Structure 1
Amino acid sequence: MILEVAILYVKNGQKELFEADFKTAGQYISSISGYIRHSLQRCIEQDNKYVLLVEWENLEDHTVGFRESEAYKSWKALLHHYYDPFPVVEHFETVIDGRFT
């Protein structure tokens, strides 16, 4: 499993519109093979800052499967105009899982 992490800074005064459009955008990302789940978290200390977490089966599901899809074009058209600056997206893999069984 790969975790995609993006810190999103939304332009001032756009929070409500962004959140509504992000709900719509969920259909695009969730339609991609290898998608597991995603969540959008809003920062408590900085109102226009969010973190997007997306779980993928493997890196290529995001970097190729999603980024080269028609769904990504719709995602981009719906969301990318909200960001300033444009987000850096990074990918992580689990080294230690703190859950005990």
Structure 2
Amino acid sequence: MIVELAILSVRPGQSGAFERAMAEATPLIAATPGFLGMEARPCLEAADRYLLLVRWRAVEDHEVGFRGSDRYTRWKALLHHFYDPFPTVGHYGAPVVEALEPGA
């Protein structure tokens, strides 16, 4: 499994509309083979900033499977106009260190 990470900077005052659009867009990405899960979290220190984490089986599932699909065209139309600046996306492998709460 790999994790896609992006910091999403949403245009000021557009968070509500962005969250509604993200809810509408989520089934588009979730329908992609190799998709394992996703979460978008609002930043507690900076309004209009979000952390996007998407879990994929492999990078190709994201880069080829999703981005090469018609669903990605709709995803872009729903979401890309909210970003300023446009986010940088990275893909990350297995943890080199991991700690969990004792007893968890």
TM-score interval for Structure 1 and Structure 2 normalised by the shorter chain: over 0.9
TM-score normalized by the length of structure 1:
0.95
Cα distance between partner residues in 1 of 2:98 and 2:68: 31
Cα distance between partner residues in 1 of 2:44 and 2:99: 24
Read off the aligned partner of 1:97 and give its amino acid letter.
Answer: E
Q: 1:6-85 counterparts in 2 under 5 A?
A: 6-85=6-85
TM-score normalized by the length of structure 2:
0.92
Read off the aligned partner of 2:86 and give its amino acid letter.
Answer: F
The aligned counterpart of 2:99 is: 98
| Aligned pairs, number | 101
Cα distance between partner residues in 2 of 1:50 and 1:2: 20
- Quote the offset at 1:96 in angstroms: 3.1
Counting aligned pairs with the same residue, the percent is 45
RMSD (Å), alpha carbons = 1.3
Q: For structure 1, which runs of at least 5 residues remain unmatched after alignment?
A: none
- Quote the offset at 1:58 in angstroms: 0.5
1:43-77 deviations in Å (ceiling 9; x for gaps): 00001110100000001000100011001000000
